Amino acid sequence: MILLDNPGAREDREGNPFICGTRQTLQQAAKEAGISDEDLYVTYILKRKPVRAYDKDDVRRTCMMHLNHQLSVKKPEFIFCLGNVAVQSFFQDSEVDVKKLHGKLHTVNGYRTTASYHPLAVRRRPNLWPIFMKDWKYLADNYRIH
Protein backbone atom coordinates (compact mmCIF):
# COMPACT_ATOMS: atom_id res chain seq x y z
CA MET A 1 0.00 0.00 0.00
CA ILE A 2 1.36 3.39 -1.05
CA LEU A 3 0.13 6.14 1.25
CA LEU A 4 0.15 9.74 0.02
CA ASP A 5 -1.26 13.00 1.37
CA ASN A 6 -4.19 13.61 -1.00
CA PRO A 7 -5.18 12.97 -4.60
CA GLY A 8 -4.53 15.67 -7.17
CA ALA A 9 -7.44 17.26 -9.00
CA ARG A 10 -7.23 14.87 -11.97
CA GLU A 11 -6.88 11.77 -9.78
CA ASP A 12 -9.81 12.95 -7.70
CA ARG A 13 -11.96 13.55 -10.79
CA GLU A 14 -11.02 10.40 -12.68
CA GLY A 15 -10.44 7.98 -9.78
CA ASN A 16 -7.10 6.82 -11.20
CA PRO A 17 -3.96 7.17 -9.03
CA PHE A 18 -1.62 7.02 -12.04
CA ILE A 19 -2.48 10.12 -14.06
CA CYS A 20 -0.34 13.15 -13.32
CA GLY A 21 3.43 13.50 -13.34
CA THR A 22 3.89 12.84 -9.65
CA ARG A 23 2.07 9.55 -9.97
CA GLN A 24 4.12 8.75 -13.07
CA THR A 25 7.14 9.16 -10.80
CA LEU A 26 5.66 6.39 -8.64
CA GLN A 27 5.33 4.09 -11.63
CA GLN A 28 8.86 4.78 -12.81
CA ALA A 29 10.33 4.13 -9.35
CA ALA A 30 8.26 0.98 -8.83
CA LYS A 31 9.28 -0.37 -12.22
CA GLU A 32 12.98 0.33 -11.58
CA ALA A 33 12.69 -1.39 -8.19
CA GLY A 34 11.03 -4.42 -9.77
CA ILE A 35 7.56 -3.87 -8.32
CA SER A 36 4.60 -4.23 -10.67
CA ASP A 37 1.53 -1.98 -10.69
CA GLU A 38 -0.48 -5.04 -9.62
CA ASP A 39 1.50 -5.17 -6.37
CA LEU A 40 0.63 -1.56 -5.56
CA TYR A 41 -2.47 -0.10 -4.02
CA VAL A 42 -2.38 3.71 -3.84
CA THR A 43 -4.45 5.49 -1.23
CA TYR A 44 -4.46 8.82 0.54
CA ILE A 45 -4.74 10.32 4.02
CA LEU A 46 -7.22 12.88 2.69
CA LYS A 47 -9.66 11.10 0.43
CA ARG A 48 -10.33 14.20 -1.70
CA LYS A 49 -8.23 17.10 -2.88
CA PRO A 50 -8.83 20.08 -0.55
CA VAL A 51 -10.52 22.96 -2.36
CA ARG A 52 -10.26 25.58 0.38
CA ALA A 53 -8.59 26.20 3.72
CA TYR A 54 -9.39 23.62 6.39
CA ASP A 55 -8.41 22.59 9.92
CA LYS A 56 -5.62 20.20 8.97
CA ASP A 57 -5.33 18.35 12.27
CA ASP A 58 -9.09 17.82 12.57
CA VAL A 59 -9.51 16.69 8.96
CA ARG A 60 -6.51 14.34 9.16
CA ARG A 61 -7.90 12.75 12.34
CA THR A 62 -11.25 12.19 10.63
CA CYS A 63 -9.60 10.80 7.51
CA MET A 64 -7.49 8.42 9.59
CA MET A 65 -10.73 6.72 10.68
CA HIS A 66 -11.47 6.06 6.99
CA LEU A 67 -7.90 4.87 6.39
CA ASN A 68 -8.08 2.50 9.38
CA HIS A 69 -11.25 0.98 7.91
CA GLN A 70 -9.51 0.67 4.55
CA LEU A 71 -6.55 -1.07 6.24
CA SER A 72 -8.85 -3.57 7.93
CA VAL A 73 -10.43 -4.41 4.57
CA LYS A 74 -7.28 -4.43 2.39
CA LYS A 75 -4.90 -5.96 4.98
CA PRO A 76 -1.74 -4.67 3.25
CA GLU A 77 1.50 -6.58 3.70
CA PHE A 78 3.51 -3.36 3.70
CA ILE A 79 2.77 0.37 3.90
CA PHE A 80 5.01 2.87 2.14
CA CYS A 81 4.36 6.42 3.40
CA LEU A 82 5.42 9.10 0.91
CA GLY A 83 5.87 12.64 2.19
CA ASN A 84 5.66 14.21 5.61
CA VAL A 85 1.86 14.54 5.68
CA ALA A 86 1.46 10.80 5.15
CA VAL A 87 4.27 10.01 7.61
CA GLN A 88 3.03 12.29 10.38
CA SER A 89 -0.58 11.20 9.94
CA PHE A 90 0.10 7.47 9.80
CA PHE A 91 2.71 7.49 12.56
CA GLN A 92 0.42 9.86 14.53
CA ASP A 93 3.38 12.02 15.45
CA SER A 94 3.77 15.58 14.18
CA GLU A 95 7.47 15.55 15.11
CA VAL A 96 8.58 12.74 12.77
CA ASP A 97 9.61 13.31 9.19
CA VAL A 98 10.83 11.43 6.16
CA LYS A 99 14.47 12.29 6.84
CA LYS A 100 14.32 10.46 10.19
CA LEU A 101 12.32 7.45 9.01
CA HIS A 102 13.36 6.60 5.47
CA GLY A 103 15.55 3.61 4.76
CA LYS A 104 14.41 1.80 7.90
CA LEU A 105 11.70 -0.70 8.69
CA HIS A 106 9.09 0.36 11.24
CA THR A 107 6.06 -1.35 12.71
CA VAL A 108 3.03 0.91 13.08
CA ASN A 109 -0.16 -0.62 14.48
CA GLY A 110 1.11 -4.04 13.40
CA TYR A 111 1.93 -2.97 9.82
CA ARG A 112 5.41 -3.17 8.35
CA THR A 113 6.06 0.38 7.24
CA THR A 114 8.75 2.54 5.70
CA ALA A 115 8.84 6.05 4.29
CA SER A 116 10.31 8.20 1.56
CA TYR A 117 9.97 11.59 -0.04
CA HIS A 118 6.80 12.65 -1.81
CA PRO A 119 7.01 12.14 -5.60
CA LEU A 120 6.34 15.85 -6.16
CA ALA A 121 9.37 16.72 -4.01
CA VAL A 122 11.46 14.30 -6.06
CA ARG A 123 10.25 15.85 -9.33
CA ARG A 124 11.06 19.34 -8.04
CA ARG A 125 14.41 18.34 -6.54
CA PRO A 126 16.05 15.75 -8.82
CA ASN A 127 18.90 15.33 -6.31
CA LEU A 128 16.38 13.35 -4.20
CA TRP A 129 15.91 10.73 -6.95
CA PRO A 130 18.81 8.48 -5.82
CA ILE A 131 17.49 8.49 -2.22
CA PHE A 132 13.93 7.87 -3.47
CA MET A 133 15.14 4.92 -5.55
CA LYS A 134 17.16 3.51 -2.68
CA ASP A 135 13.98 3.66 -0.55
CA TRP A 136 11.96 1.91 -3.29
CA LYS A 137 14.60 -0.83 -3.54
CA TYR A 138 14.53 -1.17 0.25
CA LEU A 139 10.75 -1.54 0.01
CA ALA A 140 11.05 -4.14 -2.75
CA ASP A 141 13.63 -6.18 -0.80
CA ASN A 142 11.56 -6.11 2.41
CA TYR A 143 8.22 -6.67 0.67
CA ARG A 144 9.54 -9.85 -0.89
CA ILE A 145 10.53 -11.27 2.55
CA HIS A 146 7.17 -12.09 4.07
- Taking only the tens place, the pLDDT of each residue in 84-132 is 989 998 998 989 999 999 999 999 999 999 999 999 999 999 999 999 9
Give, in degrees to the nearest 5, the angle at Cα 68 between 74 and 77: 40
- Taking only the tens place, the pLDDT of each residue in 31-78 is 999 998 888 888 888 766 655 666 666 666 666 778 888 899 999 999
List the domains of the chain with CATH numbers. Answer: 2-143 (3.40.470.10)
Predicted TM-score of the model (pTM):
0.84
